Amino acid sequence: MRLVRYGETGHEKPGLIDEENHLRDLSLEVPDFSGEGLSRHQMDRIRALDVKSLPKADPSHRIGPCVGNVGNFLAVGLNYADHARETGAAIPSEPILFNKAPSCLAGPQDELILPKGSETTDWEVEIAAVIGTPALYVSQEQALDHVAGFCLCNDVSERTYQKERGGQWVKGKSFPTFGQLGPWLVTPEELEDPQSVDLWLDVNGERMQTGSTATMIFSIANVISYASQFMRLMPGDVITTGTPPGVGMGMNPKRFLKAGDIVTLGGGRLGEQRHVVKAFED
């Protein structure tokens, strides 16, 4: 299934994209794709529906982030060896975990807003896992059983805030629109193998990133299992799992986003995003 949330910001409704790419309304079946709305029971209920009996929704609706009311937005740093090398960082021996503020969530075609005075805002195409059932001390073998689905994420990063403002990555990762999710949440049976997804990202039509989740240092199952050793992962938590090489910080000379740029990114069954970059306005 390809599950979506559509409508104005803060008022999104649940829906799905059917096999003919029609947007179908699910608001009479589930309140939202958040918390218990992502449980295994709820996913099984939706799978059992006669999709063609669901009302069609106007396709011109805005598509929002595919998960609502996110409690914990975790991310993994330097999870591709070639990305670590391009940034001059050592290959990590354990997953590097950090948080993004849930308030940074944005939809797959929303504008990407630059913070005031930012000169080093960067792009990062990633695959994210969304937790569907609580996970604490889970094994790698069982980790993916706790996943409701997977989605595309642009883990936007303000590098000066991340690297030079006191050592906490969350500062450079949490500005509004810095967590662009979607267009849809792909349920596990639809994606088949999350470790064989090709990822790409363009800026103004120029290819910047090309990679595959097959080259991760720590697999998605490894990351979920590892995170569950330190915290109870809850339904609706999002874990974005690192980016392949090609970020602006790794270029020579470095290259960063400016107002007017257009960022597009994609990943096979995960779909595609498109964002126009804008400067912050009071």
- Please tell me the pTM assigned to this model: 0.96
What pLDDT sits at residue 85? 82
Q: How far is the C-alpha of 9 from the C-alpha of 115, rounded, in Å?
A: 20
* pLDDT (mean) for 108-117: 97
Strand partners, 80: 216
CB 4 within 8 A of CB 183: yes
Number of Cβ within a 10 Å radius of residue 262: 14
Evaluate if residue 6 carries a pLDDT over 80. yes
Evaluate if residue 65 carries a pLDDT over 90. yes
CB 82 within 8 A of CB 218: no
Evaluate if residue 167 carries a pLDDT over 80. no
Phi, psi of 170 (to 5 degrees): -55, -30
Q: Work out whether the CA dihedral 186, 179, 40, 28 comes out positive or negative.
A: negative
3-state SS record for 153-215: EEECEEHHHHHHCCCCCHHHHCCCCCEEECCCEECHHHHCCHHHCEEEEEECCEEEEEEEHHH
- Note whether residue 47 is domain-resident: no
- Note whether residue 2 is domain-resident: no
**Helix or strand run (H / E) with residue 222:** helix 220-227
Range of the structural domain that residue 220 is part of: 64-279
What pLDDT sits at residue 253? 95
Residue 98 per-residue DSSP state: E
Q: How far is the C-alpha of 75 from the C-alpha of 218, rounded, in Å?
A: 13
- Note whether residue 209 is domain-resident: yes
Of 82-86, 156-160, 261-265, the least confident: 82-86
* pLDDT (mean) for 145-162: 97
Of 161-170, 188-197, 206-215, 231-240, the least confident: 161-170
pLDDT digits (tens, 9 = 90+) for 67-109: 999 999 999 998 988 888 887 878 889 999 999 999 999 999 9
- Note whether residue 270 is domain-resident: yes
Q: How far is the C-alpha of 144 from the C-alpha of 121, rounded, in Å?
A: 32
Both structure tokens of 149: 């689905």
- Note whether residue 59 is domain-resident: no
Burial 138-151, CB ≥16 within 10 A → b, else e? beeeebbebbbbbb
What pLDDT sits at residue 235? 97
* pLDDT (mean) for 126-130: 98
Q: How far is the C-alpha of 167 from the C-alpha of 95, rounded, in Å?
A: 17
- Bond before 253 cis per omega within 30 degrees: yes
What pLDDT sits at residue 78? 87
Q: How far is the C-alpha of 113 from the C-alpha of 212, rounded, in Å?
A: 27
What pLDDT sits at residue 88? 80
The CATH number given to whatever domain includes residue 273 is 3.90.850.10
- Note whether residue 135 is domain-resident: yes
- Note whether residue 11 is domain-resident: no
Evaluate if residue 125 carries a pLDDT over 90. yes
User: Would you mind telling me the total number of residues written for the chain in this entry?
Assistant: 282
Number of domains in the chain: 1
What is the SS3 assignment for 250? helix
Both structure tokens of 277: 């970059």
| CA neighbor of 222 nearest in space, from 149, 129, 107, 83 | 129
The residue assigned the tokens 């642009």 is 154
3-state SS record for 35-64: HHHHCHHHHHHHHCCCHHHCCECCCCCCEC
- Note whether residue 106 is domain-resident: yes
| Percent of the chain topping pLDDT 90 | 91
